[in-house]
Amino acid sequence: MQFQRAHVSIVRSIRHVSLVRDWHRARGTRELPEFSKFVPNERAGDSADLSISDIVREDGRLVYICRQAGPRVEQVHDADMPSRRLSDCLDPKMAAAATPIWDACVVNKLPVYSIIPVSDRDGCPVTIEQIFLPYGRGGVSAEVMVAALHACSTEGRFAHQGLLRNHAKAPLHWAVIVDPAVAAASRPAADADVEIDDGVLDDEVTSATR
């Protein structure tokens, strides 16, 4: 299927923009930056909103095993996440909507920016923004995915607990590939194809999943 590609200026969170720019600088002329050189910005409080997952290839599919998750990430998922599959940290419908976004990050070896509109337990509208960043461990394939989460609401205060849980149906997951090759003045190209490595994925990757 298809994903739009966009310049980093489309990302709203200042911290997410910083993470993307750090990823790009660390990558340099290589296909992927080295995960061993990734250091969360403790002064900016990044760790609370980060999760780190190992990428495992099983029977032609990608599986994400969470190794580390910050307290706010676990609050939003309402789950103890380390040592579990990311898909098991979400309700099945939410996992089905999120998986193509994770896969696009890994297959394209580029950051992916996602926005999910939800409501907290009191009905307050909340927007969850996430940036997914692929890292390597010396090879040509992505072996680690770092994800940063930012939840915000125009209503002000809201409850973080379980924001990604207990929805009657999965809300629309909007996502774009953040491509450094896209000029800042350009709008996302509607016909930009996702490049899928032969044998890695059997299913098509979509830019928005209902």
Each residue's pLDDT tens digit, 72-83: 999 999 999 999
pLDDT tens across 107-137, in order?
A: 999 999 999 999 999 999 999 999 999 999 9
pLDDT bin (cut points 50, 70, 90) of residue 1 is low
Nearest-angstrom CA–CA distance, 138 and 31: 10
**pTM (predicted TM-score):** 0.86
122 or 187, which is more confident = 122
- Tell me: pLDDT of 7 over 80: yes
Per-domain residue ranges of the chain? 5-31+46-209
Which one, of 197, 183, 185, lies nearest residue 134 by Cα? 197
Mean pLDDT of the region 196-209: 34
* CA contacts within 13 A on the Cβ side of 114: 28
3-class DSSP assignment, residue 24: helix
Mean pLDDT of the region 57-67: 96
Mean pLDDT over the full length of the chain? 87
Nearest-angstrom CA–CA distance, 42 and 59: 38
- Tell me: pLDDT of 204 over 60: no
Burial of 71 (0-12, 13-18, 19+ CB in 10 A): exposed
Question: What is 113-151 written as a DSSP string?
Answer: EEEEEEE-TT--EEEEEEEEEEEBSSSSS--EEEEEEEE
Q: How many CB atoms lie within 10 A of CB 193?
A: 12
Which one, of 207, 209, 205, lies nearest residue 103 by Cα? 205
Nearest-angstrom CA–CA distance, 41 and 127: 23
pLDDT bin (cut points 50, 70, 90) of residue 203 is very low
- Region at 83 (left for phi over 0; alpha for psi -120 to 50; beta for the rest): left
The domain covering 5-31+46-209 belongs, at the CATH homologous superfamily level, to PAS domain (3.30.450.20)
Q: How many CB atoms lie within 10 A of CB 196?
A: 17
- Tell me: pLDDT of 205 over 70: no
Please give the pLDDT value at position 196. Answer: 29
Please give the pLDDT value at position 94. Answer: 96
- Tell me: pLDDT of 195 over 50: no
